[in-house]
Structure 1
Amino acid sequence: MPFHPFSSHVLYEDHHLLIVNKPAPLLTQAPPGVPNLEELVKSYIKEKYAKPAGVYLGVPHRLDRPVSGVVCFARNTKAAQRVHAQFAEHTVRKVYWALVEGLVAPDAGVWDDWIRKITDEARVERAEAEAPGAKLATLEYRVLQHLDSVTHLELAPLTGRMHQLRVQTAWRGHPVLGDTMYGSPRAFGPPAELPRDHVVALHARRLIITHPFTKQELTVEAPLPAYWSPLLDTATAR
């Protein structure tokens, strides 16, 4: 069987689930003709299992285009229903790693903010609790390392709001490196000519779900992209 180029991104695979490490700046889903993760995964399944017809793939969650890391797909409708329910009920645990501007203090805590989407824009803004469309965003954070004017954070969202991690760090003066939309002054990752091809220093590091059929807890971790290494290799662990 020929080696599919996407094989190296597969983190976990069985008859019900396919969990992969999404590269940035790839879209999770897109219209036909636009490169996206869903089509790559379908291509991988079609080739590996020699499926002549279409491939079913459930997509219970997504990552922003400039963000890398763990994405879980379902390979049949029953698995899709059960995994989607876990995301809807917020029983899935997600852990992200981020490199942010400045030195974050204290070393751990919980951030609460009211967020709402800006009409007709792919951005969010701070809102008052009683404002129309406002939703509470809650995030646990922990400092992993202090670097030179940069902090390596572990982030665990307790809610699932649009751009939540990116704005909750930025609003405290610590935007994610490379996230010019929310105030980062510096570039991050490989050079890119088009704004849509820039990446940010946010990575979905770990996903913890209940397997839809075995009911066992499943923890999947995604290795960091290579372009994080120059910063982390110079770090002194706390």
Structure 2
Amino acid sequence: MVQVLYADKDILVAVKPAGVESQAAKRFAPDMVSEIRKYLVIHKLCTPGKEPYVGVIHRLDKPVSGVMVYALSKNAAAALSRQVQDRKLEKIYGAVVCGKPEKDVDKFVDYLEKSVDGNESYVVDHGGKCGKRAELSYEALESLEDGGNGILTLLRIRLETGRHHQIRVQFASRGLPLFGDRKYGTGAAAAAGPLALCAMSLSFVHPSTGKPMTFSVPPSGGAFSKFKFFQDA
């Protein structure tokens, strides 16, 4: 199941499919950590007879696909985690929203708070005690009319912070829910297909060599297939 883009003794970069948990899952559902451990054992990239160490550095929501990096040692995990804290791990997403933003290029800054059960997030006033600052910038790449779904817009999004459901909440709060978002969206497009959100590029510094690294995967399927932008790239 795992599509590995790169692996060495310190890190493994893979593409997480939509519908798979990015960390260890409860019950018997598939998850990336378990699949990566299997990959390391099968390809003899770990010590025989010992469960491989797989450190989760960042997360993607279950319905989101895209590029992720995992640490294969505790030292690598600590170094990569510092990059996350210092905002040096750059994440670029592709998304399809219902509607068209007022500006082709813009930046959103909000404060988000989780619901009591932790299953949803919402925008709160700056003065909220539990609100966490959420920042992202975006560029509109292409818009089209999609019959009963109305106008759809393809976006490239640079995530500055990593809050719970951040992209989905910030766009939905402005009347631009993501295509296929059953949690925050409304109307036909909310249930028309899979969530149109993909972590299409990840950049960071290798924890041991210090070499800048970038890995990319083009969004595909679902609402993304309606646009020519990535097909012509």
TM over 0.5, shorter chain? yes
Aligned residue among 17, 20, 39 for 2:14: 20
AA at the equivalent of 2:15:
N
1:236 Cα deviation (Å)? Answer: 10
**In structure 1, what is the Cα distance between the partners aligned to 2:111 and 2:205?**
29
In structure 1, which of residues 166, 169, 189 is the aligned counterpart of residue 168 of structure 2?
Answer: 166
Counterpart of 1:35? 30
Partner in structure 2 of residue 81 of structure 1? 78
Equivalent runs, 1:23-102 vs 2, <5 Å? 23-29=17-23, 30-31=25-26, 33-49=28-44, 51-102=48-99
| 1:183-209, Cα deviation, whole Å (9 max, x unpaired) | 2422344xxxxxxxxx31000010110
Q: Which runs of 5+ in 2 are unaligned?
A: 146-150
1:77-124 deviations in Å (ceiling 9; x for gaps): 111111111112221111000000012221101111111111113101
Give 2:200's aligned amino acid: R
How far the C-alpha of 1:44 sits from its partner, in A, is: 0.7
For the structure 1 residues 21 and 174, does the alpha-carbon distance in structure 2 shift closer, same or farther, using more than 3 Å as the test? Answer: same
The secondary structure found in structure 1 opposite 2:183 is: helix
Give distance in 1, aligned partners of 2:229 and 2:178. 19
- The alignment partner of 1:224 has SS state of coil
Inter-CA distance 211–107: structure 2 relative to 1 (3 Å threshold): same
CA contact (8 A) 2:142 2:229 kept: no
Name the % identity: 32
Residue 46 of structure 1: how far off its partner (Å): 0.9
What TM-score do you get using the length of structure 2 for normalisation? Answer: 0.89
Gaps of 5+ in 1: 190-198
Distance 1:122 1:19, change over 3 A: same
Within-5 A mapping of 1:197-208: 199-208=194-203
RMSD (CA atoms): 2.0
Aligned residue runs from structure 1 range 205-216, under 5 A: 205-216=200-211
In the other structure, the counterpart of 1:225 is 220
Q: Provide the residue aligned with 1:179 in structure 2.
A: 181
Contact 1:176 1:184 in 2 (8 A): no
Change (3 A) 1:122 1:229: closer
For residues 1-48 of structure 1, give each alpha carbon's deviation from its aligned partner in whole angstroms, at most 9, with x where no partner exists. xxxx53xx1112222111111001111121353311111111111111
For 1:116-140, what per-residue CA distance to the aligned partner results, in whole angstroms no more than 9, with x for missing partners? 1111131011211111201111110
Decide which of 119, 123, 131 is 1:122's aligned counterpart. Answer: 119
Question: How far is the alpha carbon of 1:176 from its aligned partner?
Answer: 0.6
1:232 CA displacement: 1.9
Distance 1:49 1:139 in 2: 40
Amino acid at match of 2:34: E
Spell out structure 1 runs of 4+ moving beyond 3 A: 225-230, 233-237
**Kept after mapping to 2: 8 A contact 1:145/1:236:** no
CA distance in 2, matches of 1:10, 1:233: 27
